[in-house]
Structure 1
Amino acid sequence: MLEKMIALLKANDMCVLATCRDHRPHCSLMAYVTAEDGLTVYLATRQDTTKFRNLSENPRVSLLVDTRLEWATDRSRIQSLTVEGLYVPVENPAEEARMRWRLRDRHPHIAGLLDHPLSALIPVRVLAFLLLDGPEKASHVRVLSETLA
């Protein structure tokens, strides 16, 4: 099941990022790429945004990826993948540069964001997946303990 979840995450490149600070949730539509193993998701934002301020105070996030475009005519077949994750800043400059290049290559429309002086890379380490296959079939997989992230 984990392989199916990772495949769905890697097959897509847009998600909703949910952050929270002071009990105020905030959602953002985001472009992303994954690490080769599919267990880290990379997004980008500016440091002067609500989402980045939220992440700076509360690194716990949720991502939502779905197949609604693929199954627009048969909604019973839509899959949605919720990712429980943890924002862990990149400490390796070479890794950050590589992931920024991958984001630019996959999403040329965000080149201006990636080049902005306040641009920040947002690596999200996957802690757990919840896959809904249609409206009722759910599968949950814990990938990593938060203490090990």
Structure 2
Amino acid sequence: MTDTINRQVHTLIQNGRHCVLATANNNRPYCSLMAYVAASDGAAVYMVTHRHTRKFGNLTGNPAVSLLIDTRDTPRPRALTLEGTCFEVADLSEKERIYGLFLTDHPYMHAFVNHEDAVLIRIDIAAALYLDGLVDAHHVSFPEKTQ
């Protein structure tokens, strides 16, 4: 993968604010529109959900996910399909730091994030398919992470 493609993938992850999260349970896919913030290295994204949702139940049973980030409303449409693994963030200092970043980017979600049922999740990205236009596709692998 070229440095240019690396930069474009990183920029798309960093500049995005919303994505489609695909989960699955018993071979039944389920998609959710999600707000997110990216880790500084672009190798993980953080989201907030609530425990008593279908999405969280799916993640608990099957942590493998796919995300779609796109720029469909720009003159140069690009799309990024990410594959990754989801983890609940348990570390209190990490949660506080990420919640602060999250609410800076998504202040309208204050009540949602501060709800007693809220859960912070991290998705470690393993691979990506970057589409620059309709046919210019690039497969990208991310370094393996340990939790």
TM-score bracket relative to the smaller structure: over 0.9
Structure 2: 5+ residue stretches without partners: none
Q: In the alignment, is residue 117 of structure 1 matched against residue 119 of structure 2?
A: no
Aligned to 2:107: 108
Asked if structure 1 preserves the Cα contact closer than 8 Å seen for 2:68 and 2:79, the reply is yes
Distance across 1 between alignment mates of 2:15 and 2:35: 13
Q: In the alignment, is residue 31 of structure 1 matched against residue 30 of structure 2?
A: no
Q: How do residues 12-31 of structure 1 correspond to structure 2 at under 5 angstroms?
A: 12-31=16-35
What secondary structure is seen at the aligned counterpart in 2 of 1:88?
Answer: strand
Amino acid at match of 2:92: P
Structure 1: 5+ residue stretches without partners: 72-76
Q: How do residues 132-147 of structure 1 correspond to structure 2 at under 5 angstroms?
A: 132-145=131-144
Distance across 2 between alignment mates of 1:145 and 1:122: 18
Amino acid at match of 2:136: K
Distance across 1 between alignment mates of 2:143 and 2:127: 7
What secondary structure is seen at the aligned counterpart in 1 of 2:12?
Answer: helix
Aligned to 2:50: 46
Aligned to 2:64: 60
Amino acid at match of 1:61: V
* Superimposed CA distance per residue, residues 29-86 of structure 1 (whole angstroms, 9 cap, x where no aligned partner): 1111011111110010100111100000000001100011123xxxxx3100011011
Root-mean-square deviation (CA), in Å?
A: 1.3
Select which of 8, 17, 29 maps to 2:12: 8
- Please state how far the C-alpha of 1:22 moved relative to its aligned partner: 0.6
Aligned to 1:94: 93
TM-score, with normalisation over the residues of structure 1? 0.91
Amino acid at match of 1:44: V
TM-score, with normalisation over the residues of structure 2? 0.92
- Please state how far the C-alpha of 1:105 moved relative to its aligned partner: 1.1
- Please state how far the C-alpha of 1:144 moved relative to its aligned partner: 3.2
- Please state how far the C-alpha of 1:145 moved relative to its aligned partner: 4.1
